[in-house]
Amino acid sequence: MSTLPSTPQSAESAIGTSRVKRGMAEQLKGGVIMDVVNAEQAKIAEDAGAVAVMALERVPADIRKDGGVARMSDPNMIEEIIEAVSIPVMAKSRIGHFVEAQVLQSLGVDYIDESEVLTPADEVNHSDKWAFTTPFVCGATNLGEALRRIAEGAAMIRSKGEAGTGNVVEAVRHLRQIKNEIAKLRGFDNNELYAAAKELRAPYELVKEVAELGKLPVVLFSAGGVATPADAALMRQLGAEGVFVGSGIFKSGDPAKRAAAIVKATTFYDDPKIIADASRNLGEAMVGINCDTLPEAERYANRGW
């Protein structure tokens, strides 16, 4: 099938297979993945019950503030974070910057995020992710985008949202979009699936697989704009299998407390009483940005094609 990779195999055992890459993301389900910029924050995230951390130089809110070109992080910082925690460590490469991805793989990170939050390196192509043993997570705003990333070898998808805004509206839009498009495919017969594949600009085999499964063939998380426990629970109830939280934690008044509260609300996402308790006395939330006021050039979700 088209979604299977060409990886080195022996009769005895095989590394970097599709099953191993996708299986890793399965193990993260129900969890919260937190952006961290140093070892100290990584420990706070781990103590709060994060299931993995994302190592990056600046959280999206600061990338917005500072401007300039945002790149892969310093290898020293990534290694310090790998040393500091025992949970998996992810790190970001620029879209299409397969050399940054090679560097991250050589550092031994557990997952590479080919991320629109960094400045894209290639305006046409994303990286060929089948070429790596390290699995990739990629962002998507709709089903076609998600399937194109999976066709390129992504082993996990996150909805994009609008990172660094503290505003959940775009995350909701993108997750609903993906779920609705999947639901529509469910009702299609074979004749219609060919046309759907053309419209989605995605391989027919993948489109057919999604229509049969009623879900993506890889894990789907939500990202971009989660700032409160209720935000996280909302994304879970809308069908996200877990959440990424970026600026929302370390740009708030009491990161440790907020991080633990978001973890709790993610686990008990369908229990309003527990979410209410988790939401009490968290101090100041990150200052949000109304997405309507964002100029087109500052919308990260538009990056990736």
Catalytic (active-site) positions? 92
The residue within the footprint of other proteins, chosen from 3, 5, 30, 102 (CB under 8 A), is 30
DSSP string, 27-75: TTTT-EEEEESSHHHHHHHHHTT-SEEEE-SS-HHHHHHH-S---PPPH
Q: Flag whether 6 is marked binding.
A: no
Out of 24, 36, 156, 226, point to the residue binding other proteins (CB under 8 A). 24
Query: Six-digit token pair at 210?
Result: 């999604």
- On whether 108 is known to bind a ligand per the annotation, the reply is no
Q: Does 263 bind other proteins (CB under 8 A)?
A: yes
Residue closer to other proteins by CB (options 18, 141) is: 18
Q: Which residues between 61 and 100 bind other proteins (CB under 8 A)?
A: 86-88
Torsion sign across C-alpha atoms 61, 62, 65, 71: negative
**Does residue 16 bind other proteins (CB under 8 A)?**
yes
Instruction: List the Cα angle 128/196/202 in 5-degree steps.
Output: 5
Separation in Å, CA 234 to CA 98, 115, 285: 34, 23, 17
Give 29 or 198: the residue with its C-beta nearer to other proteins: 29
User: Binding to other proteins by residue 268, rule CB under 8 A?
Assistant: yes
> Of 127, 178, 173, nearest to 153 (Cα)?
127
Q: With binding defined as CB under 8 A, does residue 267 bind other proteins?
A: yes
Give min distance, CB of 96 to other proteins, in A: 22
**Which of residues 17 and 142 has its CB atom nearest to other proteins in the complex?**
17
**176 Cβ contact list (under 8 Å, min separation 6):** 238
Binding site for other proteins (CB under 8 A): 12-17, 19-20, 23-24, 26-31, 46-47, 49-52, 86-88, 105, 108-111, 133-135, 260, 263-264, 267-268
